[in-house]
Amino acid sequence: MMSTKIKAESIYRIYKVRNVEGDNSHITNHNGHEGLLALDNVNLEIKQGEFVALVGPSGCGKSTFLDILGGLATPNSGDIYIDGKPVKGPGLDRGIVFQGYALFPWRTIQHNIEFGLEIKGIPKNERKDIALKYLKLVGLEGFENRYPYELSGGMKQRVAIARALAFDPEILLMDEPFGALDAQTREVLQIELLRIWEETHKTIVFVTHSIDEAIFLADRVVIMTARPGKIKSDIRIDLPRPRLEGDLKSSPEFARYRHELWELLRDEVDKAEEQASENIRGAAAHQEEKPAAAWQPQKQSAV
Amino acid sequence: MAKNWLTDINDKLLNWYGIVGFLILWQIAPTIGLIDPQFISPPTTIIAYAWTLMETGDLFIHMAASLQRTFLGLFLAVITAVPLGFILGGWFPGVAKFLRPLMSLLGQINAFSLFPIFILFFGIGEVVKISIIYWSSIWPILFTTIAAVQHVEPIFIKSARSMGAGRGTIFFKVILPGSAPAIFTGIRMGTNVAFLMLIAAEMIGASAGLGWLVHNASMNNVIPRLYVATVSIALLGMGLNYFMRWLESTLVTWKEETAVE
Ligand SMILES: Nc1ncnc2c1ncn2[C@@H]1O[C@H](COP(=O)(O)OP(=O)(O)OP(=O)(O)O)[C@@H](O)[C@H]1O
Ligand SMILES: [Mg+2]
């Protein structure tokens, strides 16, 4: 039996927001924290070496959850455990690939990849060897002396993955890493990521908007509800591995998963859309109120 | 093919046509008596005069005097404004915000108008000229440094934190390099203002420098010398600007070359 790598226990996250007059529908109070409830009792267990995809409508709290797993944000209540130990902050046991590449533009590709290694205190020569090794792993040999601005989006994404892998974290947290790429590059990188995962046996949490991507990559697809984010369902993907061949996506099993996930997700996407249009209406109503609000002090001073 | 390289050369020279045309006009107008050569010396006379000034070495002495003051004042401004900007922008953003109105007021004070006060404090020596440079360059450098530090992309800091970077590492490896280009812009702006101010200051109280040369020429009514000094100031100012750009592009190698200069 594989051991539990990550455990999220009743995670709540409330963002402090400026109170918009008239519209308090999204403001909640939880244990004395008042604000916008982004995560509402999220519980999740991920096994060592598992590839878990996290899907959900925009604004449902996926990035928020990933930040908490990464130790970059703290939940208002609840705990994250890695290997049974509570997470206190960021650490080199977790590598994060951010939504947008977040490469340092002032560093060459090689030195970008070396960043985590510098913090680990690895000597210069060794750092270089490691950086070149991971650059090769993501198929960018010979680009070590380039700067990020000289690379295409797909290449930057590969560097970001190499950088997160280079300090050898046990867990890889990836936030829509392929979201900004064209379909072909995306497919190539999906296959490459699977190859790397199979080579390195990392535990991966992968946020995506694409159901196809989630099914193709993951052992499990976790679906989140519209805000406030809860876990709606947790679907095991029993497709054979290695999934390196292209026609898997046109197989009947794949279509069945796609249908099942889409049925589950559809309501949440609708709900999120409703929330968004309510926000727009709320904002519009708020604007209409403004002149009236400007009136009031005058009236009062007249009294 | 032949036409191609001709247009190539033409493109390269395009910038110069205006200057060359202007010089020709300048030469002809006083020579044919269109304007009084007493007031406007033709370029050939100026060049001849410049040559004698260079032969005696006088011109270089004045250039060196102005440059030395500029660099010294600038150096002092950079080593105070940049660390101060980092401290205010990075560690005390509240204080920076609180001080901003005061600082922009001080920054608006023309260094030249402070000249008499500086003279009261520092006398008429070198210190007063250097303080003019210092005053006029410190504000733009300080403002841009504070803004640069505060505008380093949060995602870079987040990304560094995710790799276990502490405060010190984030400062030296993210905030410092991330704000360098903007700080350089501030230093360049400061240099331009400071050089203008210096020349003006040298015209009032100095015994050497290009500003003094202008003043001296006008006192003694040596019109060609006046022009030599004026042209030297323009060239030196341009040279200073190029030098700053060169310094920036050698230190900040990671930025995409932008077509717009
Ligand atoms: N710093 C913040 N302050 C206030 N509210 C925030 C903050 N960050 C996120 N939120 C809100 O929390 C909710 C969840 O945001 P989050 O970025 O986690 O969503 P997401 O699922 O990653 O969305 P997307 O798929 O669009 O990236 C959103 O409603 C968002 O508006
Ligand atoms: Mg997100």
Higher local confidence (pLDDT), B137 or A26: B137
CA distances to A46, A204, B71 from A61, rounded to whole Å, are 18, 18, 54
pLDDT digit string (tens) for A33-62? Answer: 778 889 999 999 999 999 999 999 998 999
Contact A30, A297 (CB under 8 A): no
Specify the pLDDT at position A153.
Answer: 87
Q: How many A-B residue pairs are in contact by the CB < 8 A criterion?
A: 59
Confidence of residue B159 (pLDDT cuts 50, 70, 90): very high
Looking at the predicted structure, is the pLDDT value of residue A190 above 50? yes
Q: What is the mean pLDDT of residues A262-271?
A: 89
Separation of CA A162 and ligand 2 centre (Å): 21
- The residue ranking higher by pLDDT, B113 or A11, is A11
Of the pLDDT bands very low, low, confident and very high (cuts 50, 70, 90), residue A245 is: low
Q: Which of B138, B139, B114 is nearest to B128 (CA)?
A: B114
- pTM score: 0.79
pLDDT digits (tens, 9 = 90+) for A26-38: 677 777 777 888 9
Mean pLDDT over B144-163 rounds to 91
Q: Which ligand is located closest to the Cα atom of residue A55?
A: 1
User: pLDDT over 90 for what percent of chain A?
Assistant: 52
pLDDT of res. A218: 95
- Chain A interface includes B93 (CB < 8 A): no
Cβ-contact B201, B211 below 8 angstroms: yes
By CB atoms closer than 10 A (0-12, 13-18, 19+), residue B259 is exposed
Three state DSSP letters for chain A? CCCEEEEEEEEEEEECCCCCCCCCCCEEEECCEEEEEEEEEEEEEEECCCEEEEECCCCCCHHHHHHHHHCCCCCCEEEEEECCEECCCCCCCEEEECCCCCCCCCCCHHHHHHHHHHHHCCCHHHHHHHHHHHHHHCCCCCCCCCCHHHCCHHHHHHHHHHHHHHCCCCEEEEECCCCCCCHHHHHHHHHHHHHHHHHHCCEEEEECCCHHHHHHHCCEEEEECCCCECEEEEEECCCCCCCCCHHHHHCHHHHHHHHHHHHHHHHHHHHHHHHHHHHHHHHHHHHHHHHHHHHHHHHHHHC
Q: Using a pLDDT cut of 70, give the percent of chain A over it.
A: 88
Residue A296: is its pLDDT beyond 50?
no
pLDDT of amino acid A26: 67
| B155, B165, B254: residue with CB nearest A98 | B155
Confidence of residue A145 (pLDDT cuts 50, 70, 90): very high
| Residue B261 confidence (pLDDT) above 50 | no
Strand order in the sheet with A220-224: A94-97, A171-175, A203-207, A51-55, A220-224, A231-236
Q: At residue A292, does pLDDT exceed 60? A: no
Q: Which of A223, A226, A218, A224 shows the shortest CA–CA distance to A261?
A: A223
Whether A111 and A134 have beta carbons less than 8 Å apart is answered as no
pLDDT (average), residues B160-178? 91
Reported as a pLDDT band with limits 50, 70 and 90, residue B170 is: very high
Q: How confident is the model at residue A1 (pLDDT cuts 50, 70, 90)?
A: low
How far is Cα B111 from Cα B255, in angstroms, rounded to an integer?
33
Q: Higher-confidence residue: B158 or B7?
A: B158
Residue B75's pLDDT is: 94
Higher pLDDT, B255 or A296: B255
Judged by CB atoms closer than 8 Å, whether chains meet at A106 and B180 is answered as yes
How far, rounded to the nearest angstrom, does the alpha carbon of residue B75 sit from its chain's CA centroid? 12
For A139, the token pair is 């198929």
Residue type, A176: E
Assess whether pLDDT exceeds 70 at residue A293.
no
Residue A114's pLDDT band, with cuts at 50, 70 and 90, is very high
Structure confidence at residue A301 (pLDDT): 33
Instruction: Tell me the average pLDDT across B4-24.
Output: 81
pLDDT > 70? residue A176: yes
Which of A109-123, B60-74, B102-116 comes out lowest in average pLDDT? B102-116
Of A7-21, A214-228, A255-269, minimum mean pLDDT range: A7-21
What's residue B94's pLDDT?
86
Atom of ligand 1 nearest to the CA of A99: 27
Residue A21 — pLDDT band, cuts 50, 70, 90?
low
User: What's the residue count for chain A?
Assistant: 303
Q: What is the mean pLDDT of chain B?
A: 86
pLDDT computed for residue A283 by the predictor: 61
Instruction: Tell how far the Cα of A228 is from the centroid of ligand 2, in angstroms.
Output: 14
CA distance B44 to A169: 73
Contacts of B228 (CB under 8 A, 6+ apart): B46, B49, B50, B53, B59, B213, B217
Distance in angstroms (rounded) separating the CA atoms of residues A204 and A53: 8
Least confident span in A19-33, B171-185, B193-207? A19-33
Residue B14 pLDDT grade (very low, low, confident, very high; cuts 50, 70, 90): confident
Residue A204 has pLDDT above 80, yes or no: yes
Give A55's strand partners.
A223
**In the prediction, which pLDDT does B5 show?**
79
The tens digit of pLDDT for each residue in B212-245 reads 888 888 888 888 888 888 889 999 999 998 998 8
Confidence at residue A20, expressed as pLDDT on a 0 to 100 scale: 58
Residue range A236-256: mean pLDDT, rounded: 86
Whole-angstrom distance, CA of residue A296 vs CA of residue B234 = 60
Residue A284 has a pLDDT of 61
Q: Which of A100, A106, A149 sits opposite B256 (nearest CB)?
A: A149
Provide the pLDDT for residue A295: 35
Q: How far apart are CA B201 and CA B222, in angstroms?
A: 21
- B155–A90: do the CB atoms touch at under 8 Å? no
Angstrom distance (rounded) from CA B36 to CA B23: 16
- CB-based contact A232:A268 (threshold 8 Å): yes
What is the arithmetic mean of pLDDT over B134-144?
Answer: 92
Residue A291: band (very low, low, confident or very high) from pLDDT cuts 50, 70, 90: very low
Chain A residues within 8 Å of chain B (Cβ atoms): 70, 72, 90-92, 94-96, 98, 100, 102, 104-108, 115-116, 118-120, 147-149, 167
Token pair recorded at residue A164: 């997160």
Q: Is A49 within 8 Å of A202 (Cβ atoms)?
A: yes
Q: What share of chain B is helix, strand, coil (3-state, %, to 5)?
A: 85, 0, 15
Sort out which chain A residues have CB atoms less than 8 A from B165's CB and list them: 115, 119
Looking at residue A25, its pLDDT comes to 60
Mean per-residue pLDDT for A247-275? 89
Contact state of A100 with B155 under an 8 Å Cβ cutoff: yes
Q: For residue B259, report the distance from its CA to the centre of ligand 1, in Å.
A: 37
